[in-house]
Chains A and B, each alone.
Chain A
Amino acid sequence: MEVAIFSIFAFLAVAFAVVVVAHPHPVKSTMSMVVVLFCLAVLFVLLGAPFVAALQVLVYTGAILVLFLFVLMLLNIGRERATPSSQPAQRWVALIGAAFFAGFLGMLMWRTHGPDTLDALTPDYLSIHRLSWDLFTTWLLPFELVGLLLLVAVVAAYALARAPLPGEMSAPPGEATALQSLAANGERGNVEPEGAER
C-alpha cells in the first residue's frame, strides 16, 4: 500500500517537475509546480511529517506560488521566445551539470552503508506536541531569527517593488541617471528611459 502511494506520487512529482522546467509558458510552469508541491506534501505525510506537509500546502502552494502568479500577471509575461545565441552550448553545460549532481548524489548513496528499511512510525515521532515543544525551547533563537528575517524581507520587498515617487527615479529632462545611461549603452535602444513610459 505504502509502496503503491509512493510510486504514484513520486512518478507524478517527477513528471510535473519536467513540465515545470520544460514548458515555455511560465503560468503553466507555475501551475505544474503546484502539482509537484502537492505530491511532495503527500510524500511528507508518508514520511511521518504531517505538520510539514500542511505547511507545505499552506505556505508554498497557498502563499508563495500565488505570489508567483501575481507577479506573472502584473508583468504580463507570455511564452519564452527563443534566442539563438548561446543556446546549444548552454543546454549541454546544464545537462552535464545536472548529470554531475545526480551522479555525485548517487555515489554518496552508494558509498553510504546504513539501514535501508525504515522502522514503523512511532507515535513519539508523529507527535505535534513534542515538535512544537522542541520548536519553542531548543530552537527558540532560530525561530525568532526567522521571524526577524521575514520582517526584513517584507520591508525589503516593499522598498524594492514600490513605484518610485514622482521625481525620485526619473531624471530631469536632458540628463539621464547613471544607471539609465549604463542601461542604454549596454542594451542599444532596447530601453526606454523611466520618464517616457508614464
Chain B
Amino acid sequence: MTVPISWYLVLASVLFAIGTVGALTRRNGITIFLSIELMLNAVNLMILAYARLLGDQAGQVIVFFVLAVAAAEAAIGLALFIAVYRLRRTIDVNRLNLLRW
C-alpha cells in the first residue's frame, strides 16, 4: 500500500508551522535562520508530493532550484550575521534594534 498524498501534505504543514513558531519566537539569529530553512524544506516536501501526484518531473527540477537558492541565502545570511557580530558583539535579534522606531 502506498502512502496517501494527504499524509505528506499534513506532515509538510506541521513542519512549516513549527518553523513559523521558531522564526517568530527565537532571539538567536542563527536559530531563526534554521527555522526558515525548516520552512523551506517543508515547502520542498510539498512540491515533491504534488510532483509525484501529477507524475511530472518538473517538480523535482524546481526543488533543485530551491536547494540552490537556499544555499545562496545561507551563505549571505551567515555572512551578514558575521558582519553584524563584528560591529555589535551580539546576534541576539532583540538587541539589534537600530532600525526600530
State how many angstroms separate the Cβ of B70 from the closest Cβ of chain A: 7
Asked if B61 contacts A135 (CB within 8 A), the reply is: yes
Whole-angstrom distance between the Cβ of A173 and the nearest chain B Cβ: 18
Interface size class of B (residues with CB under 8 A): 35 or more
Nearest Cβ distance between residue A75 and chain B, in whole angstroms?
A: 5
Contacts A55-B64, A90-B24, A117-B4 given: A157-B75 contact, CB under 8 Å?
yes
A109 B65 Cβ-Cβ under 8 A: no
Closest CB-CB distance, B73 to chain A, in whole Å? 8
Quick one: closest B residue to A130, CB to CB? B57
Beta-carbon contacts of B55-86 to A below 8 Å, as 1s and 0s? 10110110111011111111110111111011
- Contact indicator B71/A63 (Cβ below 8 Å): yes
B63 and A183: CB pair below 8 A? no
Q: CA–CA, A81 to B90, complex, Å?
A: 12
CB contact between A48 and one of B35, B52, B76 (< 8 Å): that residue: B52
Q: Give the docked Cα–Cα distance between A15 and B46 (Å).
A: 19
Contact partner, A191, options B1, B4, B70, B88, Cβ 8 Å: B88
Q: Which of B7, B51, B76 contacts A6 (CB 8 A)?
A: B7
Closest 10 pairs (CB-CB, A-B)? A21-B22, A94-B24, A153-B72, A161-B79, A160-B79, A157-B79, A105-B13, A102-B17, A98-B17, A98-B20
Known: A21-B25, A52-B64, A97-B20. 7 other contacts (CB 8 A): A6-B7, A43-B8, A59-B71, A105-B16, A131-B57, A135-B61, A153-B76
Q: List residues of B whose CB falls within 8 A of some A CB.
A: 1-22, 24-28, 30-31, 33-35, 37-38, 41, 44-45, 48-49, 51-53, 55, 57-58, 60-61, 63-65, 67-76, 78-83, 85-92, 94-95, 97-98
